[in-house]
A and B are shown apart, each in its own frame.
Chain A
Amino acid sequence: MAEEEKEKREMEALDYGMIILMIIGTIIIAIGFIKGLVWQPWTGM
C-alpha cells in the first residue's frame, strides 16, 4: 500500500513538473512576443 502511495505521489510530482514546464514556456513565448512588438532594431536613417 505504502509503495503504491509513493508511486502515486511520484506521478503527481511529474504531473506538476509538466505543468510548470508549460507555464515557463508560455511566459518565455510571451516575453518574446512583447519584445518583438516594441523592438525597432534598425531604421537606417
Chain B
Amino acid sequence: MKEKAVCVSKLAVPWIATLLALLLFFPVAGSAAVTGSVSAKSVPAGDTLKITGTIEPGQDLYITLASQRIFVPKECVGSKERGIFIKEGKKRGFNSDTKVPYLAYIITNNSKPLGKVDVKRYGGAFFFSGLYKTKMFYLAKWDKVSALARKGYLGPIDTKEEYNLYKFNHEKKFGLFTVTKERTMKGKMPIFSRDVLTDYSKEPYYWNKGTKVSLDKATGKYEVSFKTFRHTYPNTPFDVYVNGKKVATYTVAKNGFWLPLGYRYLNPVIVIIGGIIVGWFFSLVGLGGGMLMAAYQVLFLKTSGPVGINAANTLKPSNLPIVFFSPIAALRNYWWKEKRLVLPLALAFGIGIFIGAFIIGPPISAKYLPMAKYKAWLGIVVLVMAIRLTYEMTPRGLRASKSRREVVKKYQEEYKKAKAEGVALKMSKVETVKPGWWTLDFKFFGSTFRSYPILFGLVGVLIGIVAVSFGIGGGFILVPTMTMFAGLPMYLAVPVSLVGTMFSCVSGLSGFMVRGYWPDPWIMLGICVGAYIGGFLGGRTQRFLSEKVLKVIATATLYFLILRFLKIEIWI
C-alpha cells in the first residue's frame, strides 16, 4: 500500500511540474508579444504623441491612455457636486468611493465592441428640446465590454462601477463639466467628452480629428498618433496600456499660462478684451452685461473650474465683477459729473436685490434646484418685456408717455444746439421735486417723473433671486421695469440699473464664496480691468447716442437673450 502511494507520488511530480511550467509560461508568452513605446516622455499639452510597437498578429488593437491623477466622487470639492454624484451613483451604478482616471482614452482600430456612433440631439428649451442634431460615440453597457475590461484592455477601468462612472463623466453634461473638462462642442453646447477614438481617415467624425491608427494585422505592428487635450492639468502623468499590458508612461507638460481655477491655458489679455467690449456695451444700455460676459466666457475662455466643481460654479463668481466695475467707471460720469442718477431709486432696487440674493434666494434655489431649468420661463418674461419695449418705440407708444416724449424732444434740441455751437452736449441734472419712499417725484430736462421706490424694491427682490442663480446682474429686468412702469427715459434708467447690478455683484459673489465656490483670480482680474475701461468709455459715449438708438440696442439685446434662454441661439 505504502509502495503504491510512493509510486503515484513519483508519477505526479513530472505532471505537476509540467502544469506549473505551462501556467507560468503561457501568460508570459501571450504578453511577451505585446510591446509599445511612446515618442516622448514629456509632451506639451495639445501636442501629438506617437505610440509604436507590436501586438499578437491577427488581434485587434486597444490602447488605453489613463491619467495617474484620479477622481473619486466622495472627495469632490464642491459640496453640491458631491451630493449629485452620490445621487446619480445610485441610479447609474457607481459608488462614492469608485476611482477613475480623470482623463482616459481608448484608441482602437475596431470600436464596435466598445459602443456605437449614433445621433445626439441638442439645443432648444424644454418644450422643444433637441432642436439640432449631430453624432457622438455612445459607450456600450458594461455587459458588452466586461470581457475586454476584465482582461485589462480598458486599463485601470476594470470593474462595473468604474466603467459606469467613466461613462457618466464622458457622456453626461454634469459629469464632463465637473470632471473631464474636455468637451466636444457644437457652438456653445457640449456634446460629449472624447473616449473611444479611431483612425480619422477611416471614420472621419469630429472627435477622431488628430487620431491616426495603423495596424498590420499580419505582423501585429502598429503605429498610433494621438492629439493630447490642450487643457490637460499641468504635468499630468499618463499610463499607456496596450491590449491589457502596461507598456509605458508619459507626462502631459504645462504649455502656457494656466488659470488656477479656470483650468485652461489662456492669455489673460483675451479676458481683458472681452471685458472692455462687454463693459462698454453694458454701461451704454444698462443691461446684458452679465449675460454677455458669461457667453464670452463659455465661447472664448471656456472657463472649466477645478475637477470636482462644476464649470458654472467657477464661471458665475468670476463673471459677477463685470456688473460692478463697469458701473463704477460709468457712474463717474452719470453720477458725479452729469448728476443724472436717481439715487433713492437705485438704493431701493439695491436693498431689494440684497434681500433677494442673500436672504430669500439661497433657500429657494436649494429647494427648487436647479434654477437653470427655469431659464426657458425667464426667456418668456424677457419676451414680454421686449415686445413692450418695441411698442414704446413706435410713434403710438411714444405718444403714450408725455414726459418721456418731452425729454426726447428737449434732448434733441439741446443736442442740435450743442452741435451747431461745436461743443459737447451738457446733460440735464436730476432734481428731486418731492422726495419719498412710496412716491418719488423728480425733474429731468424740464419734465417731472414719478417713480415708486418701495414697489421697485420688491422687483429688486425678484432680480436678486435671479441674479444669484444665474451669476448675472439682472439689468434685463431693471431697465424695462423702469421704462415701462415709471416711463423713465434711458438716460435715467441706465444709471439706476448700473447701481442695481452692483448690488447683485456684491450679494451674488459673497453668496458663492460663502458656499465655497471661489472665482478664478485671473479671469476675475481681467474682467475687472476690462470692465473698468469699457465702463469709462461707455460713460463718455452714451450722451452722443439718442434715446431711440439706445432703446433699439437694448431691445435688440433682449431679443437676443430670448433666443439664448430658449437655446435656439447656441453659437454666440
Contact = CB atoms under 8 A, between A and B. Distances in A.
Interface of A: 7, 10-11, 14-15, 17-18, 21-22, 24-25, 28-29, 31-37, 39-45
A21 B68 contact: no
Contacts of B510: 28
A32 B502 contact: no
B307 A18 contact: no
Interface string B506-550: 100110010000111100110010000000000000000000000
A36 B525 CA distance: 11
Given A28-B513, A29-B324, A33-B525, A39 B343 contact: no
Interface stretch (B69-77, B139-147, B163-171, B362-370): B69-77
A39 B335 CA distance: 38
Contact of A36 (B68, B347, B505, B518): B518
B506 A14 contact: no
B192 to A, nearest CB: 21
Contacts of A45: 68-70
Contacts of B505: 25
A36 B343 contact: no
A3 to B, nearest CB: 10
A11 B442 CA distance: 13
A21 to B, nearest CB: 6
B309 A18 contact: no
Nearest to B354: A21
B69 A43 contact: yes
A29 B528 contact: yes
A42 B502 contact: no
Contacts of A15: 343
Q: What are the 6 A-B residue pairs with the smallest beta carbon separation, nearest first? A: A44-B69, A36-B521, A41-B77, A14-B343, A42-B307, A41-B306
A21 B260 contact: no
A32 B503 CA distance: 16
B250 to A, nearest CB: 16
11 contacts: A11-B343, A18-B347, A18-B499, A28-B510, A29-B524, A29-B528, A32-B513, A42-B77, A42-B306, A45-B68, A45-B70
Contact of B343 (A18, A34, A44): A18
A7 B520 CA distance: 43
B524 A32 contact: yes
Contacts of B70: 44-45
Given A7-B435, A34-B521, A36-B518, 20 more contacts: A7-B432, A10-B435, A11-B432, A14-B344, A18-B335, A18-B347, A21-B350, A25-B324, A25-B502, A25-B505, A28-B513, A29-B509, A29-B524, A32-B518, A32-B519, A32-B521, A33-B525, A41-B77, A44-B69, A44-B233
B306 A37 contact: no
B390 to A, nearest CB: 33
Interface in B50-96: 67-71, 77
A35 B324 contact: no
Contacts of B350: 21
Contacts of A25: 324, 502, 505-506
A30 B77 CA distance: 22
A22 B328 contact: yes
Contacts of B77: 41-42
B261 interface: yes
A43 B306 CA distance: 9
Nearest to B499: A18
B260 A40 contact: yes
B105 interface: no
B347 A44 contact: no
Interface string B301-330: 000001111000000010001001000100
B524 A36 contact: yes
A14 B347 contact: yes
B265 interface: no
Interface in B145-168: none
Contacts of A31: 513
Nearest to B76: A42
A41 B513 CA distance: 14
Given A14-B347, A29-B528, A31-B513, A39 B261 contact: yes
B102 interface: yes
Nearest to B309: A41
A14 B328 CA distance: 16
Contacts of A28: 506, 509-510, 513
B515 to A, nearest CB: 13
B535 to A, nearest CB: 13
A37 B259 CA distance: 9
A14 to B, nearest CB: 4
Contacts of A34: 521
Nearest to A36: B521
Nearest to A11: B343
A29 B506 CA distance: 8
Contacts of A42: 77, 306-308
Among A36, A40, A45, the one with the most B-chain Cβ atoms within 10 Å of its Cβ is A36
Contacts of B525: 33
A14 B513 CA distance: 28
